[in-house]
Structure 1
Amino acid sequence: MRRGAPLALALAMLGAATAGCGQSTEGAAGHVPPPAAPAPASTPTPTAEPTPFATLPPPTRPRQLGRAGGWRVTTYYTALESLYDGERKPVRGCARFHCSHGRAPLGSYPADFLKVVQMEGSGRITGGPQRGRFLNWSHSVGFWLDDTTRDSRGRPLVPWASAAADKSVLARGQRFAIVGCGRDGNDRPIGGEVCAAFRKARWTVTDLFRPGYGGENHADVYIGEEKDSRLSESPFYTTLNGATLGSS
């Protein structure tokens, strides 16, 4: 859950197809080709002995970051306006990307949608003249309209890849993997497909926490945009308490 946006928004925009080969044969009725001359005998070329498995280098493992079981990992996402039906409220802010704390009218949106946008940082607009665009929010900018989500350097967020952290804990650009999922907010082990998805992903720190919302050994990972239902009701919108991280 990204409770705040970055310290500062740096506003810089930034099959092979395999063809099968068919084989055809042609022949004329009544015509039999002469037998081919026998090939001269040859000495078979010796083949190298296969390398014993025991001599192969072991697979590399991520280097552990911090203490095993010492991390808290939270999640954030992009809200989808059509999933919300609260009373509509007008919003003012920046009508363009290169702006801060603007006062331009940006349209009216469900109050519960706006609440999630301010909590998670972004929402896709699904109706009205801004349909298809994003309503983004950060503590240092306020609301603004955009064509994509943004990390703290202005680049689009990447689902199951972008992450946020306090810069004193994980530096910007640090890549990491979740190698142990720990337990959820109800102190139950996180297992099955949920843990498998978090362990499979490779994250890069591109966002910084708003001061006071990071904390020691806390990372926040982006799990994408809502689709057919609210992500707040999904098992993937969770907290991994006692997680273990490794460098990637």
Structure 2
Amino acid sequence: MVAATATAAGCGTKAEPPAASKSTPTASPSPTPPTSPTPPSSPSAGPSLTTTTKPRTSTGWEITVYYTAVEDYHDGTPTPVTGCPTLNCKNGTDNLGTYPADFVQAVQDEGTGRTSSGTYLNWSYDIGYWLDSVPRTSDGQSLSPFVSAAADPDVLPHGTRFTIAACGTQDDGSTPPSAVCAALKDASWEITDEFTPGLGGSRHIDAYIGPETGEHFTDSDWYITLTGARISIG
């Protein structure tokens, strides 16, 4: 997730992960510019309803993206990782393999990473590292790009649905890249993750955008924090 410092469940999540604050992975020589994450196609409209509930608009939100780290885009110092070889375990001590140090750090920051073998190395503050077949939300389900989001459960409860009505500005005051803002606004989000306790806040959301798409992903337009964003809830 971003130029910010908070982390979500996947982001450093509760229960079955993972989010957390971001750190920039070690740079690799002659990077290939990453492509943009691909939002899912919008579903076709369903039948019209005779009654509707007007969404509630809320302003002043900070929105940070989080993502699945990809081992193939990292080449730091080989670092052994211990943890649980399966999901149903906590604070394990099994050998889970050796991975680039910057990849391991990204997994802890984001909550999830795809290894070169195709398995997932996940992390949560209350579980530690574990191997899995998918990146997980805090309720144990699979993270869904441009759908899954994390928030403090005391602010936006699990299952809350929302859209981003306005992107606001980046944390440096500049206008967000138009393609990134449009993709985030076109998505329909649902709160399925939770922040590591103490890292959320009253108006902070992390939005999951899927796996990183190239080297130096944290230098791309997609590694973004929005401030003063407006959301529509419901």
Name the amino acid aligned to 1:176: F
The two structures have a TM-score, normalised by structure 2, of 0.78
CA distance in 2, matches of 1:151, 1:125: 18
**Residue 86 of structure 2 corresponds to residue 96 of structure 1:** yes
Partner of 1:43: none
User: Runs in 1 of length 4+ with deviation above 3 angstroms?
Assistant: none
Q: Is the 8 A contact 2:167 2:227 kept in 1?
A: yes
Q: Is the 8 A contact 2:7 2:13 kept in 1?
A: no
Q: Is the 8 A contact 2:13 2:111 kept in 1?
A: no
CA distance in 1, matches of 2:54, 2:209: 22
CA distance in 1, matches of 2:176, 2:214: 24
Match of 2:134 among 148, 151, 159: 148
Identity of aligned residues (%): 44
Name the amino acid aligned to 1:100: K
Partner of 1:170: 156
**Residue 146 of structure 2 corresponds to residue 160 of structure 1:** yes
Kindly report which structure 2 residues correspond to 1:40-55, keeping only aligned pairs within 5 A, or say none: none
The two structures have a TM-score, normalised by structure 1, of 0.74
Name the amino acid aligned to 2:81: V
Match of 1:199 among 174, 185, 198: 185
* Residues 148-200 of structure 1: CA deviation (Å, up to 9, x unaligned): 00001111000010000001111100000000000002101224211111110
Partner of 1:209: 195
CA distance in 1, matches of 2:217, 2:189: 20
Match of 1:124 among 93, 107, 114: 114
Change (3 A) 1:137 1:159: same
Partner of 1:3: 7
CA distance in 1, matches of 2:131, 2:115: 10
Partner of 1:85: 75
Q: Is the 8 A contact 1:62 1:177 kept in 2?
A: no
- Measured after TM superposition, the shift of residue 62 of structure 1 is 6.1
**Residue 220 of structure 2 corresponds to residue 246 of structure 1:** no
RMSD: 1.9
Match of 2:206 among 220, 230, 238: 220
Q: Secondary structure at the match of 2:205?
A: strand
Q: Secondary structure at the match of 2:98?
A: strand
Task: Extract unaligned runs of 5+ from structure 1.
Answer: 11-59
Larger radius of gyration: 1
Name the amino acid aligned to 1:237: Y
Structure (1/2) with the larger strand percentage? 2
**Residue 71 of structure 2 corresponds to residue 71 of structure 1:** no
CA distance in 1, matches of 2:136, 2:216: 21
Name the amino acid aligned to 2:160: Q
Name the amino acid aligned to 2:78: R
Task: Extract unaligned runs of 5+ from structure 2.
Answer: 18-51
CA distance in 1, matches of 2:65, 2:125: 18
Q: Is the 8 A contact 1:74 1:221 kept in 2?
A: yes
- Measured after TM superposition, the shift of residue 6 of structure 1 is 2.7
CA distance in 2, matches of 1:76, 1:84: 17
CA distance in 2, matches of 1:71, 1:202: 16
CA distance in 2, matches of 1:190, 1:124: 28
Q: Secondary structure at the match of 1:199?
A: helix
- Measured after TM superposition, the shift of residue 231 of structure 1 is 2.6
Higher relative contact order (CA 8 A, sep 6+): 2
* Residues 3-42 of structure 1: CA deviation (Å, up to 9, x unaligned): 25333339xxxxxxxxxxxxxxxxxxxxxxxxxxxxxxxx
